[in-house]
Amino acid sequence: MIAGTTDFRRDQSPEHHASGDWNSRASGDWNSRASGDWNSRASGDWNSRASGALSRTMAVFFTSDTHFGHAGALSRFRRPFASVAEMDEAMVANWNATVGPDDEIWHLGDFALRMGPESMASLLDRLNGTKHLITGNNDGPATLRLPGWASVQAYTEMVLHETRLVMCHYAFRTWNAMYKGALNLHGHSHGQLKGMPRQFDVGVDVWKFRPVTLPEIIASRQRKKRDQDLAL
């Protein structure tokens, strides 16, 4: 691998799926990347230009369970907003303050509830980045058909920063290559599930209502372990 680049390959081969092909929508193949080759993606480090100005290379982000438009999320998940409108605008602002237009972001399901197709499409267009959806239990046909998604699937694997990621809306008890260092990224549990080793909830309720990078995700577990060690 070329120094300074990220090996960012997706593996959606049938042997890694519980059943069948996860990659088809109602009309054909939703994968917009014909080759599936995500190589030469930069890691998101800051690099200086000759002029001295700083520019950020493409980064990869993860999020889940935004529940845009869902009034029930305020009380059920104890979200600190006075209204659905306030919640939605705060998450849009946080997303766009974190994710740049040229960045990649994977949404691990439950994008929006109680919103019509036009409203969802308009909302999705406001969000920065090349956006991929891993379907959740609350993502209906209208959500899957939104033109703003670069791809839609129920499960995917990739290698990012030399780390294999296994991603689904749901947390797994066991997953491919888990004993070889692979991480399981998931949503659905809204921070209420105690994760297994190398398993991470990327939902907004865990991450202050904003997307996160893989280094941030890994650092959170390391920080938690360090805090536990200091408490002994």
Predicted pLDDT at 10: 53
Do β-strands 28-29 and 163-168 pair in parallel, antiparallel, or remain unpaired?
Answer: unpaired
Contact status, residue 157 vs residue 10, Cβ threshold 8 Å: yes
pLDDT digits (tens, 9 = 90+) for 131-152: 999 999 999 999 999 999 999 9
Taking the alpha carbons at both ends of the chain, their separation in whole angstroms is: 41
**Alpha-carbon span 16 to 33, nearest angstrom:** 20
**Is residue 216 helix, strand or coil?**
helix
Tokens for 196?
Answer: 């297994």
Total-model pTM: 0.75
Residues of the chain with pLDDT under 70: 1-56, 222-232
Contacts for 133 with CB less than 8 Å, ≥ 6 apart? 107, 109, 111, 139, 143, 144, 149, 151, 152, 153
For domain 58-231, give its CATH number from 3.40.190.290, 3.30.530.20, 2.30.130.10, 3.60.21.10: 3.60.21.10
Please report the sign of the dihedral spanned by the C-alpha atoms of residue 6, residue 11, residue 12, residue 17. Answer: negative
Domain boundaries, the chain: 58-231
pLDDT of residue 224: 54
pLDDT value, residue 221? 75
Helix (H) or strand (E) run with residue 132 in it: strand 130-134
pLDDT of residue 227: 44
